[in-house]
Every structure is written in structure tokens, then in C-alpha cells.
Amino acid sequence: MDRTLAFIGGGNMAGSLIGGLIADGWDPDSIRVADPDSVRTSRLAERFAVITSQDNSTLIDNADAVILAVKPQVMHGVIKEIAPEINRSQALVISIAAGIRASTLADWLGAGTAIVRCMPNTPALVQSGATALYASPQASEDQRSLAESVLRAVGLTLWVDDEAQMDTVTALSGSGPAYFFLFMEALQAAGSKLGLPADSARLLALQTAFGAAKMALESREDAATLRRQVTSPGGTTEQAIATFQQAGLEEIVLKAVQAAAERLRELAAEFGEENT
């Protein structure tokens, strides 16, 4: 694609996006990365042959999109530095920072800025991510397509029309990998306590999780139907499922996702208030 991308921040998520983009056919000469850590930029330049710098503003010049891949805590300071150049170039701004709303970014950048806020998750590091995107009204269809192309390089993408849904997205898929890691950890521990060698319990737990997810993705049936199909009446799986349900698993999951979403709303308010 004949577009120029400027990454502000060269951490793990930026690196995974760059790797996915290049694997998807992007020209390394069209990708620029700025980061104050010279070790990071050197590694990215060596690995991907992209253009790197420690100067944010220089790399933004004539960029079609600026990807803000910095921690939420430092976002305001970074934006103060680059806002004049973004306003001059009219570049699309893509933010992957959790908890900073598009309206807050618009306050910092200027009301006319085209913004796409997205929430990738950590499996993007292995090109298996799930990313939801929200576009401000100022973003054109072409800019939305560009943002989707960037994030699609590391996995599945979907759009939400209501930015409030991003809180739930973050609580579900953004934090979600940790929930599955916790369950895999618990399943592995149960196998070990019931007599399996630790390595065997780990391998069986991880492969079972992978296989179940692959089946669910490739099947036309929903998760509830798939669960019923592998739960024989009076069998071992039915006994285990009944134990989960009696312990209130569904309610526990709901409370956990609600708690994560509420914390995100608190963080969004804090980021907005601290930098007004």
C-alpha cells in the first residue's frame, strides 16, 4: 500500500504491528518509528529495515497516519510536542492507548483531527490479535480503511459505532487473554495435583485451549452448542460443567468483566482530568 506510517513509540505492540505490516507486503521505506530509546530503534531498524529516529516531529512530516503507541501516562506530553505537525499535515491519528477517549485526544490535538481509537490485545504479538476500532466523525472512509489495514496485519478487526462500547471491548478482549491464561494456569495446576507430571499437564492444558478456540473459530455453531455437543449426559464432562455452574462461573465472569470496564472508565476520567 502506497501510504506512509509514522509510529510514535517502538515497544512490543508497535513492533508486532510493523512485523505484521511488512509480512503483509508494506514497503519498509514507508514505515517510520520514533522512540527515545535508541536500543529499541536500532533493533527495529536492523530487524525490519524501517526508518527510525529519536525525533517525533521529524518523522510525522508527510505521514498519512500517525500511530500513537506510547503508554497512556505519557500520551499528553507526547501529543503536546507533535500536535502542531499533525495539524499541519492533517494526518490520521491512530491511538492504541487504553483508557484515553477519542474526545480527550481531540481536545489535545484539535477538534478537526481525524482520530481512530483502537484496542488490540497481546496475541497481536503473534499475529493472532483481536482489535476493535472506533473512528471519530472527522475520519474519512479512506482513513478508516487505512486504520483497518494497519490493525488487520496482526489479526481480526471489527468496528464499533459507539465509543462507550470500547470499555466493554477492553474488558473483554483487551484484558481477555489474561483470563484465559488464568484458566489454563488453573487447569494445569489441577492436572498436576491429580498426578500428572507438570510438563504433561501444561502441554495438555495449552493444546486443549488452542484446539477449543480453533474449533470455535472454524465452526458455524456458537460456543454453547459446541459445549453441549461434547457434554454427554451422565458423563465426565457433564459433571465438571455442573461443578463450574454450581460455583457460579457465569456470574463470576460477568462481575470480572464489569470490574475491568469500570476501572477503565475511572482511568479515562483520570487521564482527561489530569491533563486539562
For 200-253, write each residue's pLDDT tens digit.
999 999 999 999 999 999 999 999 999 999 999 999 999 999 999 999 999 999
For 109-130, write each residue's pLDDT tens digit.
998 999 999 999 999 989 999 9
Residue 56 has a pLDDT of 87
Q: Which fold has domain 174-264?
A: ProC C-terminal domain-like fold (1.10.3730)
Q: Comparing C-alpha atoms, which of 223, 52, 48, 55 is closest to residue 153?
A: 48
Residue 274 has a pLDDT of 57
Domain range summary for the chain, segments of one domain joined by +: 5-164, 174-264
Quote the pTM value. Answer: 0.89
How long is the chain? Answer: 276
CA distance 22 to 146: 15
Q: Which residues contact 212 (CB under 8 A, 6 or more apart)?
A: none
Q: How many Cβ atoms from other residues are within 10 Å of residue 17's Cβ?
A: 27
CATH architecture of residue range(s) 5-164 = 3-Layer(aba) Sandwich (3.40)
Q: How many Cβ atoms from other residues are within 10 Å of residue 79's Cβ?
A: 25
Taking residues 173-194, report their average pLDDT. 96
Same fold, 5-164 and 174-264: no
